[in-house]
Amino acid sequence: MLAADMDMIRVEAENRMRNLAWTVGENYEMPVEPDVDLYLRSPARGLYRAVCEGGFFYFLDRSAFSLYLLKKMYFGADEAELSRISLLCMDAAVHRKLEKIRPGVPGMRRRSAEDYLETEFNRSVAYPLGRLQLAWIGEAAGRNALPDRQIRQGIEWLRRLEEAEEPDTELVTRAADAIYNLLVDPGFEKKYGGWEKVQAVTLSELSEADFDWTDFLKEEAETQTVEELPEVGGEPEGSEKGRTRNHSVVQLDENARSKAYAYMELNYGRSYMKELDRKRLNYTLCRDVHDGCSLYFTDGILQNRVKKNYQSEYVRRQHEYNKTQYNRSRFMANRNIDILSEMLRQSLIRREEQDRVRSETGRILPRQLWKVGRTDERRLFEKIIKGDQSEFVVDILMDASGSQRDRRGEVAVQAFIISEALSIAGIPHRVQSFCTCWDYTILQRFREYDAPREENRRIFEYSTSANNRDGLAIRTVVHTLLQRPEENRILIILSDGRPNDRIVNKTVSRAPVEYVGDFAVYDTAEEVRKARNAGIAVLGVFAGEEEDLAAEKKIFGRDFAYIRSIGNFSHIVGRYLRRQMDQTW
């Protein structure tokens, strides 16, 4: 396998685990460090670990638990063994609670357990903590064991976490502490003290330690842009008194909202739009079901980066991946570009051709004068009918939500083919993508209407993340498209027919309506209908799973293209564009 391919596989695995943890945790700002090596050894275990991490963030206070681990290590506790115990406690504390709201979790847990027993049994059976893992994980796989008294004590602590009616971070730290002292270092408590002694360590004492705990606190504070690391007995900066757990609705002041905007800049690139203009568009467009939403306009993190971070590196790798996908299908893609551009060119030529017809007025035809007085024929003249000189403009809008992750190379190539063909035909067009993160629907611009053809290659910067509020994105594009001077306007939307914006940490005062299921499909279809009533021809290019075809049909009606193979892409899209040109002639 080529090094570039292996690197892309690692990026894919990292992104999949990160998105799974974000989805379960219902927070796209939570810091996640996926164990890619574990996933490559065992996808089942890697994915379930991501589920547990997201579940722990959703139900419990991860920052408080992480701080406990740092305090335990301050006394010399083994980090690797603490990590193994943490994973056991994490599973015990959240799996039953997750199963109530996510039916797929039991199957994932069982597959992960079976894989662990198959690959790790011989290594784990050799030491006490390993035997606790085998006993606990064996239950998940349906295998009963007969552990000794010491292991049973560890099981009892895990059972307390599993059976706790309410999430309790303190109980998780007590369980982890007890299991470590029981199975890893039985002399720890006598030497340093128990759980209370560990928790009594102050931040100033940690700052004097040999290991740099401040990096952890700084990363937590920067990544959790809305909620700062909580101090004991205090309220996070930017929140109001009475805040609920971090997975619930959070009411924010202006300071916290500014942090949310800073997060957009950090992870999607600075906005190219003046703030006053953006606020005007928010006021105009973020209404009805989109009340409480915000719009964010950017050229992308690669074009206007705040600083180098994980997200900029991730988008850079996606950029390379998209270019690789294009290069692998270069011949087929270029063939599609040639066919589509020729179809467009021929349609434009036919529109501009002049027809000569006989008429009762116009330039006299001498050869017809013999009919005067001899017949009733009055069409003795020739009239020139000029071709339609009206112009076309096209908008291309790509769904850039996380559900498109597995198809991002394909979607980027499709958009590039259309853009190249339109450039060759001389038709002005704009290319954008959209996704929704937190309150913001982000529209990333790859090229403007009259940009040079070279700008088309920026389409390969297309990346995917977060959710998608399709109706608001379409409404925004239509609003600006209607301001173009061309008489004939076309909107091409590349999507998977799955509008979905679950409400995650929205502000109480301006929380948008949850945008999922039939409600989201209906709203998206309504925005498409409004666009068509305004004279815009709308084509949906379906890039999704067959099970979502029904939703795509509801949204776009008959005017949608299901692309099963890139080989016939130009013919399908070309027929639609040619029909639009011929209908307006």
Going from the C-alpha of 282 to that of each of 276, 288, 441, 473, the distances in angstroms are 10, 12, 11, 12
Do 165 and 149 fall into the same domain?
yes
Confirm if 157 and 178 have CB atoms less than 8 A apart.
yes
Q: Judge if 505 and 394 occupy the same domain.
A: yes
Residue 232 inside a domain? The answer is no
Cβ distance 69 to 35 under 8 Å? no
- Are 471 and 512 within one domain? yes
Instruction: Indicate whether 505 belongs to any domain.
Output: yes
Q: Of the residues 385, 408, 442, which one is the last residue of a structural domain? A: 385
Q: Which of 153, 137, 138 is nearest to 186 (CA)?
A: 153
Please state, in angstroms and rounded to a whole number, the distance separating the CA atoms of residues 339 and 421: 8
Asked if 103 and 213 sit in the same domain, the reply is yes
pLDDT in tens, the chain (585 residues): 555 567 677 777 888 888 888 888 887 767 787 888 888 889 999 999 999 999 999 999 988 898 899 899 888 888 889 999 999 999 999 999 999 999 899 999 999 999 998 888 888 888 899 899 999 998 888 887 677 888 999 999 999 999 998 889 999 999 999 999 999 999 999 999 999 999 998 876 776 554 444 444 444 443 333 333 233 223 333 333 333 333 334 444 455 566 778 888 988 999 999 999 999 999 999 999 999 899 999 999 999 999 887 788 889 888 998 998 899 889 999 999 999 999 888 887 766 555 667 777 777 877 777 777 777 787 877 776 554 445 899 999 999 998 888 888 989 999 999 999 999 999 999 999 999 987 899 999 999 999 999 999 999 999 998 889 999 999 999 999 999 999 899 999 998 888 988 754 444 445 567 888 899 999 999 999 999 999 999 999 886 677 778 888 899 988 888 877 666 677 788 888 888 776 644
Residue 234 forms part of a structural domain: no
104 located within any domain:
yes
Report field, pTM of the whole predicted structure over 0.85: no
51 shares its domain with 169 = yes
pLDDT of residue 255: 58
Claim to verify: residue 464 and residue 561 sit in the same structural domain: yes
Q: Round to the nearest angstrom and report the end-to-end CA distance of the chain.
A: 53
Q: Are residues 373 and 409 in the same domain?
A: no
Q: Are residues 494 and 537 in the same domain?
A: yes
Strand order of the β-sheet with 355-359 is 355-359, 381-385, 363-364
The single-letter DSSP state of residue 568 is G
CA 555, CA 144: separation in Å to the nearest integer? 51
Residue 326 in domain: yes
User: Apex CA 180: angle with CA 179 and CA 183, to 5°?
Assistant: 75
What pLDDT was estimated at residue 387?
44
Cβ-count burial of 149 within 10 angstroms (0-12 exposed, 13-18 middle, 19+ buried)?
exposed
543 is a domain residue = yes
Phi, psi (rounded to 5 degrees) for 55: -65, -40
CA distances from 536 to 160, 395, 447, 580 (A): 61, 10, 20, 10
- 547 plus 561 within the same structural domain: yes
Claim to verify: residue 359 and residue 336 sit in the same structural domain: no
* pLDDT reported for residue 257: 63
Using DSSP bridges, classify how beta strands 392-399 and 488-495 pair: parallel, antiparallel or unpaired.
parallel
Q: Are residues 261 and 407 in the same domain?
A: no
Give the chain's domain count.
4
Containing structural domain, residue 279: 254-298
Regarding whether 518 and 565 lie in a shared domain, the answer is: yes
CATH number for the domain spanning 414: value is 3.40.50.410
pLDDT for res 385: 57
